[in-house]
């Protein structure tokens, strides 16, 4: 029995090695995580596969069976309270596939269908990101979320759009992780003592490529708006 198991694992490893994958970032994958003001957050991820032979490897998967063409909800591994919010998928390189990721507040499920979160191929990571305009007042809580292809440091500069005053200028680390499915991650809660802000994120570490966006949450309705690089 043990020999059969070892043989099966070797065959899986050979098969995975034969397939060329590229990583896709799902920035927020949470399941019923409590938030501020009684909110309860859940993610849903979908894929639309337009050809046969496409393989999607999820966190903790040990096999690589191709998925059938068509639209399907992904049975992703969800992060719980206290865990970093995002994850990478491994997808057959060059696959004809598109994704949709959405988060919603279950405590207000009858009021909104949620907010679409960008899904990003690692090949689209970059060395600089500018996010604007971001509100800076007591009606909203705004957070910049940064995901690295590898560990490294980034410089985050926050500027008041009206006065050009620099509100903060910091170097932030994206710490190494134990899994290739877990992106190095950092977040920065933005100040509320301005009107509108601009955030510039630049790679400090050589060869670091990353992606970043801002989430803006209304304190009264809990509705989320995303501001991402275009």
- Answer yes or no: is pLDDT of 165 > 50: yes
- Which candidate, 86, 81, 89, places its Cα nearest to that of 29? 86
Mean pLDDT, to the nearest integer, of 23-33?
A: 90
Residues 166 and 47: their CA atoms lie apart, in Å, by 41
Query: Are both 3 and 106 inside the same structural domain?
Result: yes
Same domain, 139 and 72: no
- pLDDT at residue number 85: 85
Same domain for 46 and 5: yes
Do 93 and 139 sit in the same domain of this protein? no
Share of the chain above pLDDT 70, in %: 87
User: Is the pLDDT reported for residue 59 higher than 60?
Assistant: yes
According to the model, what pLDDT value does residue 156 have? 99
Tally of structural domains, the chain = 2
177 pLDDT exceeds 80? yes
User: pLDDT confidence of 197, banded at 50, 70, 90?
Assistant: very high
| Phi, psi dihedrals of residue 39, rounded to the nearest 5° | -75, 155
Report pLDDT for 62: 59
Q: Tell me: do 20 and 86 sit in the same domain.
A: yes
Whether 27 and 59 share a structural domain: yes
More confident residue, 168 or 79: 168
Say whether both 18 and 117 belong to one domain: yes
Please say which residue of 109, 124, 139 terminates a domain: 124
Provide the CATH number for the domain around residue 135.
2.60.290
Q: Which of 100, 124, 148 is the last residue of a domain?
A: 124
Same domain, 107 and 140: no
Give Cβ neighbours of residue 196 (< 8 Å, ≥ 6 apart).
132, 133, 134, 135, 136, 160, 161, 162
Instruction: Report the predicted TM-score, pTM, of the whole model to 2 decimal places.
Output: 0.87
Digit-coded pLDDT (tens) for 95-138: 999 999 999 988 888 888 899 999 999 999 999 999 999 999 99
Last residue of a domain, one of 124, 159, 191: 124
Domain that holds residue 33: 1-124
CA torsion through residues 147, 186, 28, 166, sign? negative
pLDDT digits (tens, 9 = 90+) for 81-91: 667 889 999 99
Q: Sort 139 into a burial class: Cβ within 10 Å, 0-12 / 13-18 / 19+.
A: exposed
DSSP for residue 124:
G
């Amino acid at each position: 029995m043990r020999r059969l198991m070892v043989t099966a694992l070797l065959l899986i490893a050979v098969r995975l090695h034969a397939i060329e994958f590229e990583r896709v970032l799902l920035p927020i994958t949470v399941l019923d995580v409590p938030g501020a003001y009684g909110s309860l957050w859940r993610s849903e991820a979908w894929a639309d596969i337009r050809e046969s032979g496409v393989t999607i490897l999820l966190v903790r998967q040990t096999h690589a069976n191709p998925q059938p063409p068509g639209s399907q909800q992904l049975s992703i591994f969800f992060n719980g309270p206290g865990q970093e919010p995002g994850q990478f998928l491994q997808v057959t390189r060059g696959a004809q596939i598109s994704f949709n990721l959405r988060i919603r507040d279950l405590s207000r499920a009858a009021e909104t269908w949620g907010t679409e979160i960008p899904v990003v191929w690692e090949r689209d990571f970059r060395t600089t990101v500018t996010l604007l305009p971001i509100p800076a007042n007591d009606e909203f809580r705004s957070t910049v979320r940064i995901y690295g292809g590898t560990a490294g440091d980034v410089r985050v500069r926050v500027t008041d759009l009206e006065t050009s005053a620099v509100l903060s200028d910091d170097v932030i680390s994206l710490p190494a992780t134990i899994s290739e499915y877990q992106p190095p991650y950092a977040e920065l809660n933005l100040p509320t003592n301005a009107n509108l802000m601009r955030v510039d994120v630049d790679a400090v570490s050589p060869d670091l490529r990353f992606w970043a966006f801002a989430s803006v949450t209304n304190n009264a309705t809990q509705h989320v708006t995303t501001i991402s690089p275009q």
